[in-house]
């Protein structure tokens, strides 16, 4: 019985196909995978600017303009208005050009806006202020959600060294 078992092991070893070495197999598999990826990318239609990105760019531009108008009215402390106008303008341009960093900047602004407005709801002195703050939370939250979906479509930009591959 011991011989029969060893004979079967020898037959299995003889039937096993020869596989290429690990490095050669990985290289061939990588090339095949890369070719499939390239074919899939070639078949894709170019994306238009998502509506949420356009809306976000307009909102950021309005924020920049409102800071500039407030600055023109001559406030006592102009520093925060200048910084706010610069950041909102930068974000508006980045979003209009559909840049990933522009969307990240807008989501940061929206996140702070949502938290600030939620705190304003908690400490609102009357019903009107609470309703306005709730509307701000709802609007900013909705735009934030749609920008998350748009970021998934835009994806991170490729690294500069990715062109060398």
**CA–CA separation, 47 and 144 (whole Å):** 20
What does the DSSP assignment read for 98-152?
A: T-HHHHHHHHHHHHHHHHHHHHHHHT-SSHHHHHHHHHHHHHHHHHHHHHHHHHH
pTM of the complete model: 0.64
- Tell me how far CA of residue 110 lies from CA of 59, 118, 135, 139, 144, in angstroms: 10, 12, 13, 10, 6
Query: Where do the structural domains in the chain lie, given as residue ranges?
Result: 51-154
Which of the two residues, 40 and 81, has the higher pLDDT score?
81
8 Å CB contact between 91 and 105: yes
Q: Tally the C-alpha atoms within 13 A of residue 141's C-alpha that lie toward its C-beta.
A: 11
Mean of pLDDT values over 57-66: 94
8 Å CB contact between 100 and 154: yes
User: Encoding tokens for residue 162?
Assistant: 């990715």
Q: How confident is the model at residue 8 (pLDDT cuts 50, 70, 90)?
A: low
User: Encoding tokens for residue 155?
Assistant: 């994806």
Q: Is the pLDDT of residue 64 over 80?
A: yes
């Amino acid at each position: 019985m011991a011989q029969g078992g060893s004979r079967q092991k020898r037959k299995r070893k003889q039937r096993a196909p020869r596989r290429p070495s690990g490095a050669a197999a990985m290289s061939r598999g990588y090339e095949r995978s890369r070719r499939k990826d390239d074919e899939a990318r070639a078949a894709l239609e170019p994306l238009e600017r998502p509506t949420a990105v356009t809306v976000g760019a307009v909102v950021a531009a309005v924020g920049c303009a409102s800071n500039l108008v407030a600055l023109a009215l001559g406030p006592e402390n102009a520093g925060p208005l200048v910084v706010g106008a610069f950041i909102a303008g930068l974000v508006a341009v980045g979003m209009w050009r559909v840049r990933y960093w522009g969307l990240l900047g807008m989501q940061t602004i929206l996140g702070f806006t949502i938290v600030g407005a939620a705190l304003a709801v908690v400490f609102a002195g009357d019903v009107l202020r609470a309703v306005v703050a709730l509307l701000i939370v709802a609007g900013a939250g909705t735009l934030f959600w749609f920008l998350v979906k748009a970021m998934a479509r835009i994806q991170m930009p490729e690294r500069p060294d990715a062109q060398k591959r």
